[in-house]
Amino acid sequence: MGGPSGKNLVVLSGAGLSAESGVATFRGQGGLWEGQRIEEVATPGAFHRTPERVHRFYNLRRAALRTVQPNAAHAALVRLEREWPGRFLHVTQNVDDLNERAGARQLVHMHGQLLEIRCTACDGIWSWDRDVDTRTPCPGCRRAGGLRPHIVWFGEMPMHLDRIMTALARVDLFLCVGTSGVVYPAAGFALMAAENGCRRLIEVNVEATGISGDFTERRHGPASVEVPRLVNELLEQR
């Protein structure tokens, strides 16, 4: 089992990884985002009915990225990626760019990214760090009205599932950092890893979650403390 020199490692992260950077989680503060429920704006129906409200919601979150920095947990995961002897993949549910800014390379955003937009007219995907609305012309086809956040909304298919399934098919160590484990398919990845023979699964969270029972170990505490500590342990044990 495992890569050229031993074990394959998969990390799954959620909003708790970025919480200490100042990026609000979805279900911590009663699940409100700027006074609205994520389920009311992050859906294709909401975008069809009130595109400007949905654009405003994402413009706010995209602009907020300029005010936050990666924290010690992001840095520790990059160190793990660089020094881990086997195969490494970080699957994040987060749409911020904090992992990239910390130096992450082996990273997939299964729920998309705030800094990308997609044109529903020409299917082009563009890096984008400014506001966007229904009047913004597509950088490719120049048509206005078709641009949307390149974000996976409720009811839509997550991205990069083929690469994620391949990684979970042969994983020896599964780390989960800062997810409440209520949104699938991510919430089922620990079980999938265990069914594929993974014998060491570690959950890092400030509290127990509905999927804590899927893990062989649990580290309770803030990611910025627990992840660097865990990475030190893993790299010493390698």
- Residue closer to ligand APR (CB basis): 119 or 204: 204
Residue 12 touching ligand APR (CB under 6 A): no
Closest CA to 97 of 175, 18, 20: 18
Query: To the nearest whole angstrom, how small is the minimum distance from the Cβ of residue 25 to ligand APR?
Result: 3
* Burial letters 61-70, b for 16+ CB under 10 A, else e: bbeebeebeb
Query: To the nearest whole angstrom, how small is the minimum distance from the Cβ of residue 220 to ligand APR?
Result: 9
Residue 76 touching ligand APR (CB under 6 A): no
Give the separation between CA 105 and CA 8, rounded to whole angstroms: 16
- Residue closer to ligand APR (CB basis): 163 or 199: 163
Contact range with ligand APR by CB under 6 A, out of 25-33, 46-54, 75-83, 164-172: 25-33
**111 is known as an active-site residue:** yes
Query: What is the DSSP code string of 205-222?
Result: ESS--TTGGG-SEEEES-
Give the separation between CA 154 and CA 41, rounded to whole angstroms: 9
Check residue 143 and report its DSSP letter: -
Query: To the nearest whole angstrom, how small is the minimum distance from the Cβ of residue 150 to ligand APR?
Result: 13
- Bridge partners of 205, per DSSP, are 220
Give the up-direction half-sphere exposure of residue 74: CA atoms within 13 A in the CB hemisphere.
26
Residue 27 touching ligand APR (CB under 6 A): yes
Closest CA to 13 of 142, 220, 179, 158: 179
Query: Which residue out of 55, 74, 109, 111 is catalytically annotated?
Result: 111
Give the separation between CA 88 and CA 167, rounded to whole angstroms: 9
Q: Tell me which of 14, 70, 146, 228 binds ligand APR, using CB under 6 A.
A: 14
Check: CB of residue 205 under 8 Å from CB of residue 217.
no
Residue 18 touching ligand APR (CB under 6 A): no
Contact range with ligand APR by CB under 6 A, out of 22-30, 53-61, 75-83, 192-200: 22-30
Minimal CB distance residue for ligand APR = 16
Residue 205 touching ligand APR (CB under 6 A): yes
Contact track, ligand APR, 101-140, x by CB under 6 A? ----------x-----------------------------
Q: Which amino acid is at 22?
A: G
Check: CB of residue 46 under 8 Å from CB of residue 212.
no
Residue ranges that bind ligand APR, judged by CB under 6 A:
14-16, 19-20, 25-28, 38, 93, 111, 178-180, 182-183, 205-207, 209, 222-223
Catalytic residues: 111
